[in-house]
Amino acid sequence: MSRTIVQPPPHLKLQSFHGIFTAAPEMEALFTKLRRIARAHCTVLLGGETGTGKELVARAIHAESPRRRAPFQAVNCATFSPTLLESELFGHVHGAFTGAVRDRQGLFALANQGTLFLDEVAEIPLDLQGKLLRVMQEKTFVPVGGTRPVTVDVRVISATNKPLRREVAEGRFRDDLSYRLRVVPLYLPPLRRRDGDVEALFWQFVSELNHQGMRRIDGVTRTAMDAILAYPWPGNVRELRSAVEYAFVVGEGPTLDVEDLSPELRGEPTPGMPVGSLAEMERGRILAALARHQGRKAAAAADLGISRTTLWRKLYAHRLR
């Protein structure tokens, strides 16, 4: 096992925009864009894999906007039944349905003058989509069971893991609403495509957790860092943070080693693991096998079930030599 210890690079250039940390130049370009978008009142549709920071970005846009002193409200559209979602968004009057014992304000009313974040917007049922379109176009809605329209001024930011165009093509989403929601579409790149961010965010989270006093980590073995860098991070920043927390809980001492990493990160296959590209998966498995066998190629090849020559060829192809 390589006991070379990696320490936080002394000139780690980490930017933060309302809690969104990054060292990647393309993310800094995104921050500039976010500042401009924040000034306008247009809708924003955020796309990107799970854990890429869509909600964080929605909050950042609100915090940078002239609406910052008014409320920011968020709702995950996938977690409500259709009836409950309507009442959650638009409120209800007492007696509207069993259990509606008093008038209740919905999120559109609560977010008045501010911003409403609709997470997993593709899950809004078709019959509710018309009502959503109306409040966005005419700024009015009628609470469930009510008769009088309510007027609001709310900026809508939404997020989706599913491509809205496909939902439209397959008849599950109104195209007029999709245009309305997608005035500014923004795609958050996966963590594995953000140059330098895996390492930078790793140290950021280590430093945050060091302050909690559970453990103090000031270095990482080269082998562990290689496994971290090779991993495709399907759960993105959320998963990276959890991995660091895992190391703080299961390990001890000032140096983080491979034993402090979760089985996925060590390259031990877990059932149904959704990951990035096949090439990225392969690269990760190879690095992890090398880590398990202290860099001995014959043993790593045997572990992977491939010949030594194949391993050499793959090391070359992945530029791991």
Ligand X SMILES: Nc1ncnc2c1ncn2[C@@H]1O[C@H](COP(=O)(O)OP(=O)(O)OP(=O)(O)O)[C@@H](O)[C@H]1O
24 binds, among ligand X, Mg ion, none (CB under 5 to 8 A by kind): none
Q: What is the DSSP string of 185-203?
A: EEEPPPGGGSTTHHHHHHH
| Shortest Å, Cβ 200 to ligand X | 9
CA 174 – CA 182 distance, rounded (Å): 12
Minimum CB distance to Mg ion smaller for 235 or for 267: 235
* 312 φ/ψ sector (left φ>0, alpha ψ -120 to 50, else beta): alpha
In the bound state, the residue with its beta carbon closest to ligand X is 53
DSSP-derived letter for residue 6 is E
Compute the least distance from the CB of residue 147 to ligand X, in Å: 36
Nearest approach in angstroms of CB 315 to ligand X is 31
91 binds, among Mg ion, ligand X, none (CB under 5 to 8 A by kind): none
- The site for ligand X (CB under 6 A) is made up of 20-22, 48, 50-56, 119, 161, 237-238, 241
What does the per-residue mask of binding to Mg ion show for 41-80, with x meaning CB under 5 A?
--------------x-------------------------
Q: What is the DSSP string of 245-275?
A: HHHHHH--SSEE-GGGS-TTTTT---TT---
78: nearest Cα among 170, 160, 187, 169: 160
By beta-carbon proximity to Mg ion, the closer residue of 188 and 291 is 188
Q: Quick one: how far is CA 153 from the chain centroid?
A: 28
What distance lies between CA 49 and its chain's CA centroid? 6
Of residues 146 and 189, the one with the C-beta less far from ligand X: 189
120 binds Mg ion (CB under 5 A): no
Residue whose CB is less far from Mg ion, 55 or 245? 55
Total residues binding Mg ion (CB under 5 A):
2
Phi, psi of 80 (to 5 degrees): -120, 150
Residue 260 binds which one of ligand X, Mg ion, none, with CB within 5 to 8 A depending on kind?
none
Give the residues lining the site for Mg ion (CB under 5 A).
Answer: 55, 119
